[in-house]
A and B are shown apart, each in its own frame.
Chain A
Amino acid sequence: MSRNRLLIGAALTLAVLLFIFIAINPAPKPVPAEPTASTFPTTLEAVTQAEPGRRQLDIRQWQTDTGSRVLFVHTGQLPMLDVRVLFDAGSARDDGQPGLASLTNAMLDQGADGLDVGDIARGFEDLGASFGNSSHRDMALLTLTSLSAPEFRDPALALMRRIMHAPSFPEDALTRLRTQMLQGLRMQQQVPGPQLSRAFNALLFGEHPYATPSGGTPESLPGITRDDLVAYYQRYYTAQNAVIALVGDITEEQARDIATQLSDALPQGERAVRLPVAQTLTERHTTHIDFPSSQTHISLGNQLISRGHPDYVPLYVGNHILGGGGFSAILMDEVRQKRGLVYGVYSGISPMASGGPFTVSLQTANDNADAALKLTLELISDFVANGPTDEQLQLAVDDLTGSFALATASNSDIVGQLGAIGFYDLPLDYLDTFQQAISDVSAGDIRDAFQRHLVPDNLAIASIGPRAPDPARASETPVNDSAPADTAE
């Protein structure tokens, strides 16, 4: 994918990714229902009364004869096609061999059906098509973006089918990719973030497969053989274990043909059995990595709920208020805006296939780490005890429901939504019903849901820096004092 927007694209990407310094804005005070400062903004009333536009998605869904679930949306404005094939084949299925899922996925385009890696790459690039593969904890993906005219689309899809049908997993490519991954692991040791992420995952998920480090370990990678990859592919890259999402300028009939051919290219097998739900930690676990960084990075969290739990919606909205809403969240307001302790602090709740962890992450100068952790814990406890105010809730509901138009604005957005709906067996009207459910949540629902599922004393805490942060060492930092604290180092 990333290769494709060459030239101008490359210039922009570079400008955006490397040299740009994004300001994450401060969080809000609740907006008064009636604007105070001499009716500023003057457009408020008109904008409030405007009827928001909606993009109606006509989602078609079916199953191929060989058992792949398919979702399709026709969009005719741009002459392009997005294809996304999702397999229940993420690192949660590594089964004691960390890195197996990632390596299998990365090896798919290294050789197939008599073609070597160069043939495959040239094949897509000659067509201007963009083929991608990636592996995550729940899922593994193959993606293709192509011009939709048949002379581009057909050969690109044919090549994708050959990769899906007969990957050859060449030994020399395995050796090379393994070396690259090991080198990648060494580079991760140079910076705090990835090290903390591994340690936190291990702490949070314990014995559950989600604890597996997706990128493998220096110990596990050398032991992964070609036979392991072949077996993994045969078991998990099956028609029955696949979801195919298609968006673009093709007819439904064409979409059905494409889906059938992709599905038929895959081995026969079974849909992977659902993993057990991750366990909630019932007491505090902590870990610290000594590292000579100028900031201490801290992650906190616990496993809260299983997928499909009715409390997901109040937890989701509550998380937005507490720390997920970026610009408008309590954590950003208190920790960054009012005290200047961090550049970023966020919380999230991830609806995974076999768990729903709540996590908070922040990075702060070493001298501020005790105070920042203490404050963050207090803010979480305070939120669990009291829930949001009605004003905070209203702002979050307005924000979440008002932003739905943005979630399906591009083909790329839509294919992502279709993939998630298919992979997690969500109903086709999921986007609408979810939006409605958000609107129906009350502040009490949120407080109750947080009290049912989140015990602040049981949050796992992982950190990396010159020394472990200790909230007990921090001086008093009142939570609701809006006066600025002195944060000079």
Chain B
Amino acid sequence: MRIVLSLLLTLCSASLLAEELPPTHEFTLDNGLTVLVREDHRAPVATVMIWYRVGSIDEPAGMTGMSHMLEHMMFKNTRHLTPGDYAALVSRFGGQTNAFTSYEYTAYYQTYEATRLPLALELEAERMAHLRIDPEEFSREVQVVLEERRQRTDDNPNALAWEKFSGILRPGTGYAHPVIGWRREIEQYQPERAMDWYQQWYTPGNAVLVIAGDVTREQVEPLVKQFFGPIDARDVPFRPTPKMADPAGDRRLDLVLPVQVPSLYLGWNVPSLATAEDPQTYYILNMLAGVLDGGTSARIESSLVRGQRLAAGAGAGYQGLSREDGVFTVTATPVPGVTLDQLQAAIEAEIHKLAETPPEQAELDRVRAQVLSGYVFGQDSVFGQAMELGYLAMIGQDWRLSANMAEALAQVTPQQVSDAAHTWLVPARRAMARVEPEASTPEAAQ
């Protein structure tokens, strides 16, 4: 079975990927705006996304969460629009719209039946160039953001634990504060600072426009030029080039929170694709994560959850696409009667085993098989394709990355995976948070 399968995979990687990539076009306007067009003619729909290279990592102390706050204000007043107008226009044409802010970017989208494309572009150009911030609207929206923070973080001890863990996971970087910002700073937001933030970062040269769906470049290019062309070029703000940070040292956080189930968070500072000296490190670390947790048959599930029955839930992952170093994380919750010490020891034993003994080739093949099929399945969603193009652009990577992923992973050897565990998953690069219930009753520990 295994031999046959490897053959199939070889065939598959050759045939699937040698097939031409989905038609994708890239061009840049004179004012610096980058445009990516992905053609997908299966259905008469189109997604328009605009991505700005600004997120929470760019926020100085005192301004945490400002990128997200600005995102909320982008749905309110512009030169031509008052609050509610934008949403009503999108609704009138059956569109879906929203926005999201993360560490490295702020992004907005509209999805419609494809003939609505010109409207989508006009609206997006309007708010790129002509945002107005009304102080009363602003202070009311601060209340909304505070509600959002309560809902997402303050009333969820696991989210709170993750927020605190993030503070030690990448200390001294923009990744150490929450995307939504600290409450004390949200409460002190000023509309003028939001406007400054907008003027500093929302320039055409700092943005990427992604259009995916039932469109062609011929159709799209004149419209993009019509609406975005007149926007003046401005300086693109400085963002430092990603560089590998020195190991931060072994860090440990003990948290007592209103939980009933303890939990364990482990993370290691490792290279990202952007900071790795050799890009191959990125693929090796991906393979390492896949061997540990690339599915129900992978080691975390088969050993910690099923074999030893120590974890009620556990997961490992490598975030190697970012603007600074990546992180390799393992999170777990124990079954009743198992302590966090036991759980941690078992996780470290799994890692140690990998560092000592290279994984089976079959485990690597399995990871690759899922990457191959995942690449095809990913093309089922127009929205997903636009997300991928935009995100890769935000972190400075080429949009062909995912198409080439399986081939790059084929170059990874079992020994390299083992070596990577040995090199990178070491105490000097480790952060750990342990969450225990408030009153450690015998019942809770069981």
Residues of A within 8 A of B (CB): 3-12, 14-16, 18-31, 37-38, 40-44, 46-47, 50-55, 75, 77-80, 117-118, 121-122, 125-130, 145-147, 149, 151-152, 176, 179-180, 182-184, 186-187, 189-192, 292-295, 325, 327-328, 333, 336-344, 363-365, 395-396, 398-406, 408-412, 484, 487-488
- Per the 8 Å Cβ criterion, residues 356-407 of B in contact with A are 362, 365-367, 369-374, 376-382, 384, 387-388, 391, 401-402, 405
- State whether A19 touches B388 (Cβ < 8 A): no
Neighbouring A residues of B184 by C-beta, 8 Å: none
Complex CA gap A43/B152 in Å reads 38
| Complex partner residue of A403 from B95, B294, B381, CB under 8 angstroms | B95
| Complex partner residue of A19 from B102, B258, B384, CB under 8 angstroms | B102
Taking A19-B179, A75-B42 as contacts, is the C-beta distance between A327 and B90 under 8 angstroms?
A: yes
Judge if B349 is at the interface, Cβ distance under 8 Å: no
- State whether B71 touches A28 (Cβ < 8 A): no
- State whether A43 touches B296 (Cβ < 8 A): no
Neighbouring A residues of B405 by C-beta, 8 Å: 7-8
| Complex partner residue of B377 from A4, A42, A46, A325, CB under 8 angstroms | A4
| Complex partner residue of B369 from A12, A20, A128, A338, CB under 8 angstroms | A128
Complex CA gap A128/B376 in Å reads 10
Judge if B87 is at the interface, Cβ distance under 8 Å: yes
Judge if B150 is at the interface, Cβ distance under 8 Å: yes
Judge if B312 is at the interface, Cβ distance under 8 Å: yes
Neighbouring A residues of B380 by C-beta, 8 Å: 78, 80, 410-412
Judge if B101 is at the interface, Cβ distance under 8 Å: yes
Closest CB in chain A relative to B114 CB, distance in Å: 6
Complex: chain B residue closest to A41, CB-CB? B122
Complex: chain A residue closest to B155, CB-CB? A293
Interface of B: prevailing SS: helix
Most buried by A among B82, B87, B99, B333: B87
Neighbouring A residues of B378 by C-beta, 8 Å: 5, 9
Residues of B within 8 A of A (CB): 1-2, 5, 8, 12, 16, 41-45, 68, 71-72, 74-76, 80-103, 111-116, 118-119, 121-123, 126, 136, 140-148, 150-152, 154-158, 162, 179-180, 214, 258-261, 286, 289-290, 294-297, 301-302, 305-306, 309, 312-313, 317-321, 333, 335-336, 362, 365-367, 369-374, 376-382, 384, 387-388, 391, 401-402, 405
Neighbouring A residues of B302 by C-beta, 8 Å: 118, 121
Most buried by A among B97, B112, B151, B321: B151
| Complex partner residue of A3 from B147, B294, B362, CB under 8 angstroms | B294
| Complex partner residue of B87 from A22, A28, A47, CB under 8 angstroms | A28
- State whether A22 touches B118 (Cβ < 8 A): no
List 7 A-B residue pairs with CB atoms under 8 Å apart, sorted by A's residue number. Answer: A7-B289, A21-B68, A28-B87, A41-B126, A191-B157, A338-B140, A409-B42
- State whether A340 touches B141 (Cβ < 8 A): yes
| Complex partner residue of B148 from A4, A21, A26, A484, CB under 8 angstroms | A21
Taking A145-B377, A179-B312, A405-B113 as contacts, is the C-beta distance between A337 and B370 under 8 angstroms?
A: no
Taking A28-B91, A75-B42 as contacts, is the C-beta distance between A23 and B391 under 8 angstroms?
A: no
- State whether A190 touches B259 (Cβ < 8 A): yes
Complex CA gap A235/B297 in Å reads 30
Neighbouring B residues of A338 by C-beta, 8 Å: 140
- State whether B44 touches A7 (Cβ < 8 A): no
Complex CA gap A365/B147 in Å reads 7
Closest CB in chain B relative to A93 CB, distance in Å: 26
